[in-house]
Amino acid sequence: MRATRLLAALGLGFTLFAHADTTLLNVSYDVMRDFYKDYNPAFKKHYDARFKDSITIQQSHGGSSKQALSVISGLEADVVTMNQSTDIDAIAEKGKLLPADWAKRLPDQSAPFSSLQVLIVRKGNPKAIKDWNDLVKPGVQVIVPNPKTSGNGRYTYLAAWGYALKQPGGNEQKAQDFVAGVFRNVPVLDAGGRAATTTFMQRKIGDVLVTFENEAEMIAREFGRGEFEVVYPSISIDADLPVAVVDKVVDKKGTRKAAEEYLKYLWSPEGQEIAAQNYLRPRDKGVAAKYAKQFPAVKLFGVDELGGWQAIQKRHFNDGGVYDQIAASIAKK
């Protein structure tokens, strides 16, 4: 089937081979592949039964911003599932592929589940790391992906920033000094979250890895549970993982109904249950109660408390922003 389509594509030179009405392309970021591996078959079963149809779901994974950039440049994604709303904002703003108020179209600001940043330490926690302020101690090596190229790294940066800001007597200057202290202890800045994990687990570099809660579970599955411990900090950031239908693409391909159903089903009890099984914190109260044991209560703050993604991106992560200043100050010491 695929072979014949490939051959057809060859023969015609330029053919788009995804024009069957019920083929959806889900353009997603790196660490979501495990969730969608479970979710796609479940959705197919639901959709095929309900609409007497046969749906095929194609997946594309990569760095969140890189994926958004591909969609802007013409990658025909029916739905995008990203790790921060700025990436979908960019698709709305630069690509004009969906309206600017896309987040209002689905419940929970279009984020069907969330995660948070946790600390992963070596077995036995030899450096006694309990909270964010342990990351700035001399002699502690912190593994974090590059905030310039990774959403994972940006959430870590903001979690540390928010922690410092919320300490008694905390202010912006203290927060900046604190984050600088964390990044001063970073020996390797990988381009993405998965590369950072490999550095920590495979190359055995660093004392603590900061990453998403659901990634901690993936690490346990792949590297074994005895190798490390998960430490929940006193406060962390609520990482909402937004999804959206790409209007221009679905209207052109005539797949709007299927695409909307695909995203809506994420909020169904079954979708929420699959999320919980992949250690993504569900929105559904019932499912959350059922899996409460695996999600310890952590005090969280949202990105909105720091001014929202657009303002944050501009102030902290764009060229010449606060992160660049921090990086420069570290390099000059």
Partner 1 sequence: MAASLTVNRSQATTETRWVRYALTGLALAFITLFLIVPLIAVFAEALRQGWGLFLAAFTDPDALSAIRLTLITAAIAVPLNLVFGVAAAWTISRFQFRGRSVLTTLIDLPFAVSPVVAGLIYVLLFGAQGWFGPWLAEHDIKIIFAIPGIVLATVFVTFPFIARELIPLMEAQGSDEEQAALVLGASGWQTFWRVTLPNIKWGLLYGVILANARAMGEFGAVSVVSGHIRGMTNTIPLHVEILYNEYNFVGAFACASLLALLALVTLAVKSFIEWRSEKLAEEDRRHATEE
Partner 2 sequence: MAFKQASVLPGFNLSFGYTIFYMSLIVLLPLTALVVKTSSLEWGQFWAIVSEERVVATYKVTFGASLLAAIINLFTGLLVAWVLVRYSFPGKRLIDALVDLPFALPTAVAGIALATIYAPNGWIGQWFAPGSVLGGLFGSEGLSLAFNPTGIVIALTFVTLPFVVRTVQPVLADIEQELEEAASSLGANRWQIFRLVILPILWPALLTGFSLAFARAIGEYGSVIFIAGNMPFKSEITPLMIISKLEQYDYVGATAIAVVMLGVSFLLLLAINGLQWWSARRLGRRN
Q: What Cα–Cα distance (Å) separates residue 79 from each residue in 31, 67, 249, 255, 299?
A: 17, 12, 9, 10, 31
The residue type found at 265 is Y
DSSP conformation class of 280 = P
208: tokens are: 């603590």
Return the closest-CA partner of residue 119 out of 221, 216, 261: 216
Contacts (Cβ under 8 Å, ≥6 apart) of 287: 269, 272, 273, 275, 276
Q: Which neighbouring-strand residues pair with 71?
A: none
308 binds partner 1 (CB under 8 A): no
Alpha-carbon distances, residue 105 vs 130, 190, 219, 266, 311 (angstroms): 39, 35, 34, 14, 22
- 203-262 binders of partner 2 (CB under 8 A): 203-205
Give the per-residue contact string, 121-140, with partner 1 (x = CB under 8 A; - = no): --------------------
> Sign of the C-alpha dihedral, residues 82, 147, 312, 215?
positive
Which one, 12 or 328, has the nearer CB to partner 1? Answer: 12
Q: Which of 20, 50, 54, 94 binds partner 1 (CB under 8 A)?
A: 94
Token readout for 8 is: 């057809």
Q: Nearer Cβ to partner 2, position 92 or 276?
A: 92
* Residue 203 contact, options partner 2, partner 1, none, Cβ 5-8 Å cut-off depending on partner type: partner 2
Residues 6+ apart with CB under 8 A from 306: 158, 161, 162, 165, 312
Residue 205 binds which one of partner 2, partner 1, none, with CB within 5 to 8 A depending on kind?
partner 2
State how far the Cα of 49 lies from the Cα of 38, in Å rounded to an integer. 18
Q: Does the protein bind partner 2 through residue 123 (CB under 8 A)?
A: no
Nearer to partner 1, 89 or 238 (CB): 89
Question: Which of partner 2, partner 1, none does 218 bind, CB closer than 5 to 8 A by kind?
Answer: partner 1
Please choose which of partner 1, partner 2, none residue 320 contacts, taking the beta carbon within 5 to 8 angstroms, the exact cut-off set by kind: partner 2
Binding mask 131-160 for partner 2 (x = CB under 8 A): ---------------x-xx-----------
- The CB-of-324 to partner 2 minimum distance in angstroms stands at 6
Cα torsion 271, 274, 280, 282: sign: positive
Structure tokens at 158: 């903001």
Cβ proximity to partner 2: between 37 and 94 the closer is: 94
Length of the chain in terms of residues written: 333
- By CB under 8 A, tell whether 318 contacts partner 2: yes
Based on the shown chain and the rule CB under 8 A, indicate whether residue 41 belongs to the binding site for partner 1: no
Q: Of 83, 106, 113, nearest to 244 (Cα)?
A: 106
Binding flag, residue 222, partner 1 (CB under 8 A): yes
Q: What is the contact surface with partner 2 in residues (CB under 8 A)?
A: 63, 65-66, 68-69, 72, 90, 94, 146, 148-149, 186-191, 195, 199, 202-205, 317-320, 324, 327-328, 330-332
Q: What is the contact surface with partner 1 in residues (CB under 8 A)?
A: 2-3, 6, 9-10, 13-18, 25, 27, 30, 33, 58-62, 67, 70, 72-76, 94-95, 192, 194-195, 197-198, 202, 218-219, 222-223
